[in-house]
Amino acid sequence: MRKEWLLNALLALALFAVPLWAWMANEPFIITLATRIAILAIAGVGLNIALGLGGMVSFGHALYLGIGGYVAGIAAHHAFSGTTVLGLPGTNQMLPIWAMAMALSGLIAGIVGALSLRTSGIFFIMITLAFAQMGFFFTLSWPAYGGEDGLPIFVRNQFPGLNTARPWELFLIAYGVLLASLGVFAMLRAARFGAALMAIRQNPDRAAAIGISPFGVKLVAFVLSGMITGLAGAMMADLTRFVSPAMMAWTMSGELIVIIILGGVGRLFGPVAGAAILVGFEVFFGGVSEHWKLWLGLVLLAVVLFARGGLIGLIAGRAQNV
């Protein structure tokens, strides 16, 4: 356990130190990469609550990423044009946008969870995928907000006291939110709620026999998971200044699962390590060959076969509570 905490500290330090060096060296591209890693890691933390703690293999978590993205895009669009949406003015402030993104993502996650958690196994996977595809095709045919062409965010949304147009300051926002989301995950895992969730994952019948409601506990975890992923979606939209139906595609859901597996399912900093590996492969191997996902697939296969604890588990050893 001590080795894992040391590794976590090194990952946190590296994720901060590299963009800090890039800021001093005037390398904004590297800062943007670090910001993307942080935001993907936030989305991974959301999925890790459902998958890592609750054993819920959701293949539709891109739905909440896309919901958060479209909340940010639509709010910014109406703020820029001076029009209203549902009778309310748009906004270009990140904090209310994040609140709306998390609320809507949590609401949709509650509906999806209430239906999908009545099943298990492959049926649960397919229902979550079906809902995500419904969101994908809905936004694809939504001409008011770009349809398949997507919706640009002309001016990046604002955060109090910081200039989000500067890559370093946007990274600081993403890094701070990442640390907060990791703190939420750590508290959930250490609390009685987390113990109940992991007990349900291991043996739901035995958990029910001692008075734990598997459906209720898993539904709350699923909603929290969707809310954090929705927050990441709103931040991703601001980073790219663009939102499109691709954010809800099944391939995006697959990338989130890959991030968790590469880093370590249920590990605190697993999403951080997994996001760093994914972005690293995309940047370095993508510059060599357009078939970079083949090499990523081979690494994923090796992890599944020989290092099921992911990068964190490979270095720090097997966790006792995962």
* Minimum mean pLDDT range among 14-23, 115-124, 304-313: 304-313
Residue 219 belongs to a domain = yes
Structural domain tally of the chain?
Answer: 1
- Tell me if residue 308 falls in helix, strand or coil: coil
Residue 67 belongs to a domain = yes
What local confidence, expressed as pLDDT, does residue 1 receive?
65
What is the pTM assigned to this prediction?
Answer: 0.95
Residue 278 belongs to a domain = no
Question: Which 8-state DSSP code applies to residue 142?
Answer: -
What local confidence, expressed as pLDDT, does residue 231 receive?
98
154 pLDDT above the threshold of 60: yes
Segment holding 89, helix H or strand E: strand 88-89
Residue 311 belongs to a domain = no
How confident is the model over 289-299, as pLDDT tens digits?
Answer: 778 888 888 88
Read off the tokens for 159. 């955060």
Residue 314 belongs to a domain = no
CA distance 292 to 181: 30
CA distance 117 to 218: 8
Residue 15 belongs to a domain = yes
Residue 274 belongs to a domain = no
Residue 109 belongs to a domain = yes
**CATH code at 201?**
1.10.3470
Q: Which domain holds residue 34?
A: 2-252
Higher pLDDT pick, 275 / 4: 275
How confident is the model over 175-205, as pLDDT tens digits?
Answer: 999 999 999 999 999 999 999 999 999 888 8
Max mean pLDDT among 41-50, 279-288, 308-317 falls in: 41-50
